[in-house]
Amino acid sequence: MRAFVIRRILTSIPAALGVVTLVFFMIHLAPGDPVEIMLGENAAPADKAAMTRQLKLDRPLAEQYFSFLRGVATFDLGESIHTKKGVAESIAERYGATLILTLASMLFALTLALPLGALAAVKKDTRWDRGAMLASLIGVSMPSFWLGPMLILAFAVELKWLPVAGADGWSSVILPAVTLGSAMSAILARLTRSAMIETLGEEYIITARAKGLSGFAVIFKHALGNALLPVVTIAGLQLGALLGGAIITETVFAWPGLGRLTIQAINARDYPLTQGCVLTIAISYLAVNLLTDIMYALIDPRVRLK
Amino acid sequence: MKALPMNLKIGVAVTAAFILIALCAPWIAPMSPVEQDLYGGLAGPGPDHILGQDRLGRDILSRIIFGARVSLFVGLVVTAISVTVGSFIGAVSGYAGGRVDDFMMRVCDVFLAFPGILLAIAIMAVIGPSVTNVMLALCVMGWTSYARLARGQALSLKEREFIKAAEALGASPLRIIFRHILPNIAAPMTVEATFGVASAIVAEAGLSFLGLGAQPPYPSLGSMMAEGRQFVLVAPHLIMFPGAVIMLVVMGVNFFGDGIRDWLDPKR
């Protein structure tokens, strides 16, 4: 197991290094002078010179790169151009909100997907199956930037059950979590269905049925547990993907998380903060994927041996 | 000849209708998409404007019809470029194997380390919002999944006898890739590409929604929604109709992709 974990960590390092490199070069890809883009064309030359120095853009590229790498390793990502606050500090303040949102979305997705997928599998090729799969197709096709406002209109404006936006108490997480989790739920429902169908065809299930076990016991005691393994793995991997989707959802609901901070940084042309946010989301995604793989190997020994 | 599955029929009908509407926009749109009527600002659906008017009194139906053009154009161009680049890189990687394969897959890993549309957002943050830049950003983001798929296919194809025979006859690696591998992976790549069109349409709309895509007065479905977002409480039709169209189109394309996959599935 230890060898697997070490191997898996080692294979993540090149990707992480690649991400850091890409994010470093972001600022250099800007068409024109990045300092002028951030401060505006009419900024005083002294201000421009100060900003160039602050961002170390006057140093050789290699020096800039290694300084950036050092900064990433020590969580020193510079300071925001507009708020003058440390980038790492700004991100840390928002990270918790994004974490709550993604976990709540995943909880919603799994709660809906597992029974729906299991039902579709057990009632394969019936009206139930087709209905469940149609519902999941609709879920996948609904963009979050449409579903979000529609949920706001229905549950916040018309019914007044839930708050329109912001993060004030547990009720404010419901609509953003449903918005972010619905597409995920649709994907997981489809996956649960196919995993269940495969499991229901296994010999031990046929044996269980032949022994005279009730349909309920076969499905819940024998089939669902085994079918869940791939579903939970994909759910883990998708948890990281939710971090990407959170950018739009947080913008729709004015949720004070990392995604909204990213868009605020972009709109303010605050490159250090934008770089910090993008880097944090991508590295978190890699870390979640790494943890999921390790957890999977812990649960299923066959994975370690591959 | 196998009968066409129902989802394929629905998918073809919806997709064809969307393409037709996008292509014939100037002839079927009831009004100009940029013609303003400030007295009718934010007016709801009515006899003169079936889907209502936006903040500047522009006809929403006409803007949706023209916006469909931008969405379709972006979806098709991005997918075509991503599939072409991804298939070639994947085929080379899979066929060459060894260090070339290792290197290319590590590069893929880096691009895949950005969840969702984060990479496109990051690129747009730097190069600035415009339709052309959206396409560029989505291509940079999109080629990797095709490369992965093509590589997997190439890995299994290169062990097949007809490839071994071509190698024995002295065919160059490039000839094998272009004449034997790429034509043989076309079917799975096409299925993947149909889903890619849907993803690209949603991604374009998402970027425009965040203010990073098509800029006003250019009507794209996403930018219409971005404009309508601030009026969601007083004029929900501004956001409701363009979003519903996106959903319908994406559903149609997904039906189309599912249908093609079912139809090509030999087990059926």
Per-residue pLDDT of A35-73, as tens digits, reads 877 777 778 888 888 888 887 788 888 888 998 999 999
Across chain A, mean pLDDT equals 87
Distance CA A278, CA B246 (A): 27
Tokens 């390790």 locate to A294
Written in H, E and C, the secondary structure of chain B is CCCCCHHHHHHHHHHHHHHHHHHCHHHHCCCCCCCCCHHHCCCCCCCCCCCCECCCCCEHHHHHHHHHHHHHHHHHHHHHHHHHHHHHHHHHHHHHCHHHHHHHHHHHHHHHCCCCCHHHHHHHHHHCCCHHHHHHHHHHHHHHHHHHHHHHHHHHHCCCHHHHHHHHCCCCHHHHHHHHHHHHCHHHHHHHHHHHHHHHHHHHHHHHHCCCCCCCCCCCHHHHHHHHHCCCCCCCHHHHHHHHHHHHHHHHHHHHHHHHHHHHCCCC
The pLDDT of B212-220, averaged and rounded, is 79
Helix, strand or coil for residue A79? strand
The verdict on residue A186 lying in a domain is yes
Domain ranges, residue A244: 95-305
CB–CB contact A252 B236 (8 Å): no
Looking at the domain assignment, is residue A158 inside a domain? Answer: yes
Query: For B197, what's the count of Cα atoms within 13 Å in the CB-facing half-sphere?
Result: 25
Say if A29 is an interface residue toward chain B (CB within 8 Å).
Answer: yes
| pLDDT per position as a tens digit, B136-185 | 999 999 999 999 999 999 998 988 999 999 999 999 999 999 999 999 99
Nearest residue on chain B to A31, alpha-carbon basis: B127
The distance of A243 to chain B (nearest Cα, Å) reads 7
Going by CATH, does the domain composed of B6-36+48-264 fall within 3.30.980.10?
no
Considering only CB atoms, which chain A residues are within 8 Å of B244?
146
Query: What CA–CA distance (Å, rounded) separates A238 from A191?
Result: 12
Q: Where are the domains of chain B?
A: 6-36+48-264
Is A214 strand, coil or helix? Answer: coil
A:B CB pairs within 8 Å? 131
Please judge whether B128 and A31 are an interchain contact, meaning their C-beta atoms are less than 8 angstroms apart.
yes
Residues of B in contact with A146 (CB under 8 A): 225, 239, 243-244, 246-247
Q: Which residue has the tokens 């290197």?
A: B103
- Is the Cβ pair B198, A19 closer than 8 Å? no
Could you say which of B110, B239, B244 has the minimum Cβ distance to residue A22?
Answer: B110
Higher pLDDT: B198 or A300? It is B198
Cα dist from A250 to A243, A260, B32, B227, whole Å: 10, 5, 34, 17
Q: What is the pTM of this model?
A: 0.88
- Which residues make Cβ contacts (< 8 Å) with residue A2, sequence separation at least 6? none
- The verdict on residue A76 lying in a domain is no
Among candidate residues A167, A56, A155, A49, the one with its CA nearest the CA of residue A101? A167
Cα(A164)–Cα(A155) distance, integer angstroms: 8
CATH code (residue A193): 1.10.3720.10
- What is the tally of structural domains in chain A? 1
- Residue A218: inside a domain, yes or no? yes
The mean-pLDDT minimum among A49-53, A295-299, B74-78 falls in A295-299
ipTM of model? 0.87
A191 in reach of chain B (CB within 8 A): no
In a domain, residue A299? The reply is: yes
Chain B residues within 8 A of A31 when measuring between CB atoms: 127-128
Pick from A142, A135, A155, A140: nearest CA to B243: A142
In a domain, A43, yes or no: no
